[in-house]
Chain A
Amino acid sequence: MKAFAIVLTILALGAAIYTAIYMPLTWFMVFAFSSLLYGFISPVIAARRLFFLATEAPHMALFSVVLGIVVYKTTNLLNEFLWALIISIILINVVGHLIRAGVDPDVATSVMVSLTASGSVVATYYVLTFYSVQYNLWAFILGDPLLVTSQEALQLTIIAVASALATVYLYMFGIYMGVDLDHAKLSARNIWLYDTAIYTLLGISSVALLKIVGFVLEHVLLTLPAIIASAVSSSSREALHTSVVSAVASSFLGLLLSTKLNIAPAGGIGFITLSIYLIARVLSAKKHA
């Protein structure tokens, strides 16, 4: 299966170099760093068995972004993006720590999805009614990576690098916790701090990715790289590598596909990610046959 990871690495590097040479630099930055963001965070989600939280994260991100607009417009403090980050981090930590405290994950996530979904409807209605000509909420649903300005690309770069460094630092301990939580609790103090860091990373990443890949695709991209990696990897280190390169490859190849077909890039990324997943499943099935 190492061959699969090597092929993905070559594809990722080739597509990235092509983009860097022939396409606008902001595109390279946006596609490279957004894919690194979800490529790094995805295996941590898998290691810590937080898929339920990852699939809920886009709901919280959408709610946070729309509520962030309302809060900013009402208070005129900070900016919409910072409010969205603050709200998202609070929400995801509340649900994460409720589960840590013993609340059934299904119950906690159901309650939070109900809150964020209905909250999104109300907040969206409010924004559409009062500020609709100033904000295009469709960009958050469908994703609009090409309209990211250089300033926003720099923000994304900082978030992606910080998240990737934190992931590298936290990843192995996450694996131990995923494998044997009781042993991890005995061998380390302040495990809650580790969990808080993971929840916060997820909260920040989901908001940062919303405008780029959109609400619809974010569900897939936060979880699929790790699922691809787990299908073809034999070690945790290899899984992190496969997740990152599959994310980078799907991002740049998705951009090239959308350029060729003149379609929205988020859709191109989704199709390529799905194709890589299907190939990984076939290879995994052959290996186990």
Chain B
Amino acid sequence: MLKQVSIIILLLSMLIAPYTTASNGNGLVVVVTFPFLYNDVKKLVCQGDSVLLLVKPGIDPHEYQLTPSDIDTLKVASLVISTAHAPFELQIEKLVASGELNAALVEITKIPGIIFLKHPQTGQINYHAVIFYPKNYEVFIKYVENFLETLRPECSNVYRENAKTLLAELTQLTNNTRRLSGYIAVIDTPPIQYVAAWLDLNISYILLRDEETPVTPQDYQNVENIIKTSKNVVVLVTQGSTASSKLEEMARTYGKPFVELPNPLVYNGTLDYLEKVSQIINNANLTTKTSVAEAHTNLYTITTIIAISILVIALVVFAVKKRVV
């Protein structure tokens, strides 16, 4: 029995291992909520500190619920870093406020100096993935670095050096990434708005008002109109989103450039994600092609006419047969 329990514990620790760094002695335990925060904070910390991730890459944090083992993890944390917009993060905020958790809490959306973009249709602040905008990333890294210094002053120099290295990496990445100023963008969901802003794209429309809401007729028609009539338009989508197939179809129909970015939630680092975006954008073909709208329309019109004709004939036969009977 003891052997079996040991094997289970060993297997569990192997599962957790990729998203945990070891803590010892006076080291801090830093818990991050979203996967894309993990590697960046890991690169920031000092020897002896540990970084734990609550939501593993590939899982949507917006639908995540805290488990009892998460609460145990949060109880040993010295610092929790949250984006403060997913429901489970709001629960963490309440636990900290009520004193049930002793950890200090850094909420990215409440860090002074963070720049917020507004959703072009709703006018509401977009709280999704704000640190994909380089200026916000810089503010975030500096803020967390200062916070870590106050929690563990003996590592101040290490934190400062690590932050400097991270920001240098960001600057290099930005310099090596193609700028898309002069293009307007239609995007699928709010989380890539900050990435599009990083690329200097002028975002004219976000098709889905939020990731899980159905699209409305006016939004659809406006987007189609922009893709159809605008000259320098890029359709930028997130892999696997509900709107990506439809937007790809529109882009291909009207011969406009289409770029598909990976979902940020499958990456466990902001710089890792931006590096992938940089590669995709640098290799993207942004030339406008010939529109195939007319050919598509003809095909579907013929199909529709045939289908309706079959139904009408069937109904006429049904009616005539009934009369004969």
Contact = CB atoms under 8 A, between A and B. Distances in A.
A160 B310 CA distance: 11
B138 interface: no
Nearest to B121: A262
B301 A147 contact: no
Pairs A-B, 3 closest by C-beta atoms: A132-B60, A259-B217, A138-B212
A146 B318 CA distance: 33
Interface stretch (B126-134, B143-151, B193-201, B235-243): B235-243
- Interface of A: prevailing SS: helix
Contacts of B242: 136, 139, 144, 147
A262 B218 contact: yes
B214 A255 contact: no
A266 interface: yes
A153 interface: yes
Contact of A133 (B59, B212, B214, B301): B59
15 contacts: A24-B224, A26-B300, A133-B59, A133-B263, A138-B212, A144-B215, A147-B214, A149-B246, A150-B249, A150-B296, A150-B300, A154-B303, A168-B315, A258-B216, A262-B219
Interface stretch (A62-70, A75-83, A123-131, A194-202): A123-131
A36 interface: yes
B17 interface: no
B223 to A, nearest CB: 10
Contact of A131 (B58, B220, B307, B317): B58
Nearest to B311: A164
Given A133-B59, A150-B249, A168-B318, A142 B214 contact: yes
B276 to A, nearest CB: 15
Contact of A266 (B211, B214, B266, B318): B214
A137 B296 CA distance: 29
Interface in B244-273: 245-246, 249, 263, 265-266
Interface in A237-289: 237, 255, 258-259, 262-266
B308 interface: yes
B58 A133 contact: yes
A262 B243 CA distance: 17
B297 A25 contact: yes
A28 interface: yes
Contacts, number: 115
A172 interface: yes
Contact of A146 (B59, B215, B314): B215
B304 interface: yes
Interface in A110-168: 128-136, 138-139, 142-144, 146-150, 153-154, 157, 160-161, 164-165, 168
Contacts of B249: 149-150
B214 A144 contact: yes
Nearest to A142: B214
Interface in A22-81: 23-29, 32-33, 36
Q: Name the interface size band of chain B.
A: 35 or more
A27 B72 CA distance: 50
A111 B240 CA distance: 35
A264 B214 contact: yes
B59 A132 contact: yes
B318 A262 contact: no
A162 to B, nearest CB: 10
B301 A25 contact: yes
Contacts of B307: 33, 157, 160-161
Given A25-B304, A149-B249, A237-B318, 15 more contacts: A24-B224, A33-B307, A128-B63, A132-B60, A133-B60, A133-B265, A136-B242, A142-B214, A146-B215, A154-B300, A165-B314, A171-B318, A255-B217, A259-B218, A262-B218
Given A133-B265, A144-B214, A146-B215, A164 B314 contact: yes
A154 B299 CA distance: 10
A143 B245 contact: no
Contact of A136 (B212, B218, B296): B212
A154 B300 CA distance: 8
Nearest to B300: A25
A148 B212 CA distance: 15
B16 interface: no
Contacts of B214: 139, 142-144, 146-147, 264-266
B38 to A, nearest CB: 16
Contacts of A149: 245-246, 249
B217 A132 contact: no
B263 A36 contact: no
Given A128-B59, A164-B314, A168-B314, A28 B304 contact: yes
Contacts of B215: 144, 146-147
Contacts of A164: 311, 314
B10 interface: no
Given A150-B296, A237-B319, A262 B217 contact: yes
B246 A32 contact: no
Interface in B18-76: 58-60, 63
